[in-house]
Structure 1
Amino acid sequence: MLPQPKETPIDNGEFKEQSSSKKQEKVEYYSQKTISIETIIQDFNKTLAAIGAPQDINEEVQAYLKLVDTQSLKEKPSPKLIKSNLKNAANILDEYITETLQKSSKVVTDWVEALLLQNVNYKAEKIETPEVEEQQVTQPEPVKEEISELNSLYQEAGKLADTGKLRKALITYDKLLPEVKSSGDKSLETKIYLDKAYIYDVNKDFPSALENYNNAANLAKETGNDKIRALSHYNMASIYDEFGKTNLALSHYYEALSYDGQIENLRAQTQALNDVGNIFSTGKQYRQAIDHYHAGLSLTKETEDTKGKAFLLSNIATVFKDVGEDQKALKYYKKSIECDMKIGNLEGYSINYEYSADIMQRNNYPQKAENLYKKSLDAAQKLGDKGISTRILEKLERNNLSY
C-alpha cells in the first residue's frame, strides 16, 4: 500500500522583466560560442556564493538549480523547464538583493535572460563510470521462500489498512519489521516505514509519523527510490506546515521538489510549489508567493492539469485581492471559474464567486455582489456544503442583501 500525498490547493504568478546595461555585455561575451548548461549552473553557483544570501534563500535557489541539473541529464532535456527553473532561481536572488539594498534589482534575471538568448546546449555530458562486472549470487531456496512469505504478510497488512483496520495493520507491520530487517530486504522495509507513517499521520500521532517518514526517506536514499523519498519529504513538510514550522516545512518541500523532478512527477511538483507559495502568502511575502505560484502554473501547461490550474489561478487571484489589486483579482477568479466549469468543480466554482462578490461589495457594487453571492450559494447547496452555504447566507444578511 502506497499512501498518496495530501491534496492542497495550487496557485501561480507572473514576472515583469526589465533590461540592463550588463545584459549587452553578457550577450557579446557569449555570442561567439555555444554555452553549455554545466557552465551556466557553475556560474550561477558562483554568483550565489558571492551574494552571500542566508540559508533559506540558498536552499530555494539550490532546489531550482538541482531541477535544472536533473533535467539536463535526461536523454532529451526540456529547454522550457530548464529556462523556467533558471528564471525562478534568478527572481529569488533579485528579490533578496532588492530587499537588502532597498533598491529594485533585476541584475541576476537580466544575466540569465542574456544567456538564454544565446546558443545553449541544454544537454549535460554524463560522466561515464567504468562498469564493474558483478558476480551473480544465487539465493538459496529457503531465503526466496522467506522473502515471498514476508511479502505476503505485507500485503495482508496493507489490506487491513485499506479496510480501515489501522490498529491491526500497525500491529502486523510492527511484527513484520524485525523479520524484514533480518532478511535484508530494504525495499520492503522502506514501504513498511512509509505505511506506518501514514497510519500515524491519519491518527494525528505526528511525532511517530515524522519518525517513520524520516526512516522511509533515509532507506529510500539507500535503495534509490526517489518516488518514496519525494513522498516522505512532502508529507513531513505538510506536518511541519500545519504546525507553523515554516523553515522545516520549506526545507522538506524543496527536497520533495527535487526528487519529484528526478522522476518527472510534474503534478506532485505543482502541488509542492503551491504549498510553498501558500507559506509565503501567509507570511505576506507576496512576491515570493507569486514566484512559486507562477512556477506551478507553468507545469500545469505541461500536464494539462485543469484542476491544478483552477486552484493556482484562484490562489493568484486571492493574493491580488489581499493586496488590493481588485481588477487583477477579478480577472484571475474569472479564469479559475472557467476551469472549474470544465471539470465540474462546484466547490471551487462556489468559492471563486464568493470571493469575487466580496470584492464587488467592498467597492460599493451591492447588486453585482448580490448576484455573485447567489451563484456561490446555488453551487454550495448543490454540493451539499453547509459550511459555505452558511457563510454566504451570513454575508447576504450582514450586507442587507436579499436571498
Structure 2
Amino acid sequence: MRQAGQAIGRGVAGVLALLLAACGPAPTPVSRMPVTLGDQAVTTLPIGNEPQPQPVDDLTSTQWPPAQVDRGRAQVSCERDDADDAPRTLQSLEFYPLFDAMTGCESTGLVRLHYSGRIDGGFTELMRRVSAMAERMDLPERLLDIDSPGGHVEEAIRAGDILAASKWTVRVQEQANCLSACVLVLAAADDRIARGNVGVHRLMRDRSNATSRAELNDELRNVNRMVRDYFERHGVALAVADLMMTVPNRRLRLLTADELDEYGLVGRNAAQDDLERIVIRRKCGEDFMRRRDAFQRQYEARCGIEDRPWEDVTRCGLELREAYGFPDAKCPDETPLADAERRLHLEDARVARLAQEAAAEAAAAEAEKLEGDAVAASTPPATTRTAR
C-alpha cells in the first residue's frame, strides 16, 4: 500500500496545484439524456477550505493518525443490500473505531461502503483506510455504493488507484448520481454497475489566471494528459476524456447505457481482466484458461448475474463448474467462483447457527412453559371461605 501511495503521488506531483472541481446540484435521475443546468452553474471551490487528512504511509500497525469523515456521509455494512443489514455510520477513521464498525463483516466475507458527497481528500483517505482494514480482515468482496456530484480530479485519481489496487466493485444505484470527477472513481473499479446517472462535462481549474482561450488551454493541457493516462491504465475509452474537454461546464452530458458499455464504464474492467488472464495463464496453463472462458460464457448466459440474489447466482454457477473440470486441483484459488463459494459456505454456516440458536431458544421457552404448567397443575386450588 505504501508503494502504491508513493506511485500515485509521483504520478500527480506535477499537477498538485491544479485542483479541479465539478460541484453543483445533481439533476433528478429521471433520464439519461443530456440536461442543462441553467442558472445553477457548476462552480469550483476555493483552495484551502478542504479538510486535509494526515497521509498514512504505514497501515500495518494499529496506530493510525486521527482522521474523520468531515464532508460527505459514509456508512459501512456487511451485506450487499440495506434490507439484509443496518448500515453503520462512520465518523472516526482511526484503527479501532473502524475495526469495530467492520467486525461483523468477518462472518460474511464482504464489506459494503456507501458514500454520499464530494470527491475530495477526505474521500481518498476513507478509501485508503477501509481498503487497508478489509485487507487485514481478509474480506474478499468489497462494494462501494457511490452518490457524488463530483469534486477534485486529482483526489479522484488517487482514490481510483486505491480502488484498483484493492479490487473493489463500484455501484451507482437507482436515484444516485456519479458525475464529473466521480466518473474517474467508477472507471478504476474491477467491476462497475450503473443504474443511476453517470455524467461528464468540461473540467475547470480552480482560481484560473487565464485571460484567453490559449492560456486556459495551456493550463488544462497537463490535466487532460493526466486524465487520459489514467483512463488508459484502467481500460476506459479516451472518448470520455474528450467529453471532459468539450462539454460546456454549465451543461452536463449524461451517458446512455450504450455509451457506458461502449466506453468501458460498466461491467468487468477490461484492464483488470487482461491482467488476471496473463497471471492465470502463466500459473495455470492454456487449458485452464480455455475452460475458464467457456465456463464464464455459460455462467453469464444462464445464471442471470445482474438480476438474481447473489446466493442463487453462486449456486447456479457452482452447478455449472463440474462440467468444465472445476474446481481445479492445481489452481484452486483461481477456480471460478472460489471466493463466492467460500462466502456462501460462511453464509450457510451463519444461517445454520442462527437456526440452531432459534431452535434452542424455542425449546427452552417450551420447557419453561411445561414446567410452569406442571407447577400450576400440582398446586391445590385456594380455599374460599364464605363470611357468615
**TM-score by structure 2 length?**
0.27
Larger radius of gyration between Structure 1 and Structure 2 = 2
More helix by share: 1
Structure with more relative contact order (C-alpha pairs < 8 Å, separation 6 or more):
1
